[in-house]
Amino acid sequence: MAKAKTYYFCQECGYQSSSWLGRCPECGKFGTFAEEVVAPHKTQNSKLKIQSVSTPKRIQEVTYSETRRIETHCGEFDRVLGGGIVPGSLLLLGGEPGIGKSTLLLQTALAIHDRKLLYVSGEESEQQIKMRADRLLPSLERRGAGGEALYVVSETVTQRIFEHINAVQPDLLIVDSIQTISTEELDSPAGSVGQIRQCTSEFQHYAKSTGVPVLLIGHITKDGTLAGPKVMEHIVDAVLQFEGDRNYGYRILRALKNRFGSTAELGIFEMEGSGLREVPNPSEFLLSQRDETLSGAAVAATLEGARPMFIEVQSLVSSAVYGTPQRNANGFDMRRLSMLLAVLEKRCGFKLGAKDVFLNIAGGLRVADPAIDLAVACAILSSNVDIPISPRFCFAAELGLSGEVRPVSRLEQRIAEADRLGFEKIFISKYNLRGLDRKRFGIEVVPVSVIEEAFRGLFA
């Protein structure tokens, strides 16, 4: 069979060439050319394009049937998806190697017992998949799932994958991973830009024309971007990212893009010996049972997506051993830490410039919510003066450059959660008080306007 015509395209500017080029003559970039298929009907008869089957309609005339989403029977996963998998959608699950992507999707496939599923793996053999499933099944069986309608196959060529699909006729297709799959239409190896692009669009065509949703797994490179072209993110309907520190058990699933739901939702899991366990109450789980006599720890009332999460910030301040003091932060932005230290030095008069400062966000989490600032500053101060902060106190405010304590978003939600978790005091910005009904909560709300005030309130 003759191969379809392929061309090489510059992935930066779209320049087309019949052979591979090292440098693009159009934009001058190096190593940007990738092989792509050009479908003959697209180039031959331009009149065909004009005779389009769809006609513009008034928006009131457009009808659709309320398509039922496929529930994954996993609350955290459904939450991130926006209430289940939409028929005909193409989803991409990204994450670093070894984070648990295959585990999450195989577990989900085993739990969906009311549909026929096909799990295609280009990475593992059927025996290896079965071994993993045997590990996961005991905890799933307790919930009534058994994987009776799950078909598995080890395959890497899309043409043969579609033959398997024809034989099985699944209601949901899982492909692990897109980097290992290739199409016969291209000569380039699996994992190359052109292959990823072409295979993704083949799966998209399948999903859109049959209504069968497709879940693709994709690896993420060290710098956190999806290996493969950005264009893959444009093709798929949703991009989910699975992240977490491999040395800790927590895994966070978030939607970076979702055509059928919010990107603010977050799923939290814990990796155990028998697979991933859902964590519906992250705060209760993240707060360590700590000894009251330890200095350098403060609890931050942060929001991850739409969900309040209470996180312990730990700090250690000690005299610098070497000439240049060390600064080290785990889970917190280093530049932000330098800024906070400068503010503390200037506003509170601590000679932190001559001290080593270490900061750690408990549980290996990475926090971007600015409301964590006050807890970070208080943890550092607590370690510096060696006076512990009560574990019954928590903090929710941002710090400005002049040491002012600034308001944060959705404060009521944070206070309500602090109240529910049994905290006694929450330190907030004075500027957050407007419109806040403090009497609604059992917890004591302590407003502060500058960092010195918080310091005096805690340690004076």
Which of 69, 73, 101, 347: binder of ligand TYD (CB under 6 A)? Answer: 101
102 binds ligand TYD (CB under 6 A): yes
Residue whose CB is less far from ligand TYD, 95 or 296: 95
* 3 state SS for 83-137: CCECCCCEEEEEECCCCCHHHHHHHHHHHCCCCCEEEEECCCCHHHHHHHHHHHH
Least Å distance, CB 143 to ligand TYD, is 15
What does 275 bind: Mg ion, ligand TYD, none (CB cut-off 5 to 8 Å by kind)? ligand TYD
- Angle, alpha carbons 420-424-430 (nearest 5°): 100
* CB closer to ligand TYD out of 136 and 215: 136
Q: Which of 102, 107, 108, 360 binds Mg ion (CB under 5 A)?
A: 102
Residue whose token pair is 């195989």: 106
Which DSSP category does 28 fall into? -
Q: Which is nearer to ligand TYD, 273 or 349 (CB)?
A: 273
Q: Give CA–CA dist 148/130, Å, rounded.
A: 13
Choice from 73, 132, 307, 355 touching ligand TYD (CB under 6 A): 132
Q: Considering the complex, what minimum distance in angstroms separates the CB of residue 219 from Mg ion?
A: 8
Q: Tokens for 74, please give them.
A: 């996993």
Nearer CB in complex with Mg ion: 271/399: 271
Q: Which is nearer to ligand TYD, 102 or 241 (CB)?
A: 102
**Which residues are CB-neighbours of 62 under 8 A, at least 6 positions away?**
none
Contact 7, 18 (CB under 8 A): yes
Interface pick for ligand TYD out of 99, 378, 380, 421 (rule CB under 6 A): 99
Task: Pick the binder of ligand TYD from 100, 170, 331, 391 (CB under 6 A).
Answer: 100
In sign, the C-alpha dihedral spanning 314, 317, 322, 327 is positive
DSSP lists the bridge partners of residue 318 as 356
Query: How far apart are the C-alpha atoms of 341 and 243, rounded to whole Å?
Result: 29
Rank residues 175 and 389 by Cβ distance to Mg ion and give the closer one. Answer: 175
End-to-end CA distance of the chain: 83
Nearer to Mg ion, 245 or 453 (CB): 245
Residue 403 is a binding residue for ligand TYD (CB under 6 A): no
Q: Are 20 and 46 in contact (CB under 8 A)?
A: no
Instruction: For helices 334-348 and 373-385, give the axis angle rounded to 10 degrees.
Output: 60
> Could you tell me the smallest distance in angstroms from the CB atom of residue 268 to ligand TYD?
16
Among ligand TYD, Mg ion, none, partner that 330 touches (CB below 5 to 8 angstroms by kind): none
Query: Measured at the alpha carbon of residue 439, what is the angle toward residues 437 and 441, in degrees to the nearest 5?
Result: 95
| Site size with ligand TYD, rule: CB under 6 A | 15
Piece in contact with ligand TYD (CB under 6 A), picked from 42-50, 90-98, 252-260, 436-444: 90-98
Q: Do the Cβ atoms of 369 and 304 come closer than 8 Å?
A: yes
Ranges within 240-279 binding ligand TYD (CB under 6 A): 271, 273-275
Minimum CB distance to Mg ion, residue 128 (Å): 10
Our finding on whether 73 is near ligand TYD (CB under 6 A) is no
CB under 6 A: which stretch of 92-100, 292-300, 339-347, 395-403 binds ligand TYD? 92-100
- Beta bridge partners of residue 92, listed in sequence order: 216, 239
Assign 241 to helix, strand or coil: strand
Residue 406: helix, strand or coil by DSSP?
strand
Instruction: Kindly state the smallest distance separating residue 101's Cβ from Mg ion, in Å.
Output: 5
From Mg ion, ligand TYD, none, interface partner of 97 (C-beta below 5 to 8 A by class): ligand TYD
Tokens of 424: 């006694």
By CB under 6 A, is residue 218 in contact with ligand TYD? no
Instruction: Name the residues that contact Mg ion, by CB under 5 A.
Output: 102
Instruction: Name the residues that contact ligand TYD, by CB under 6 A.
Output: 95, 97-103, 132, 135-136, 271, 273-275
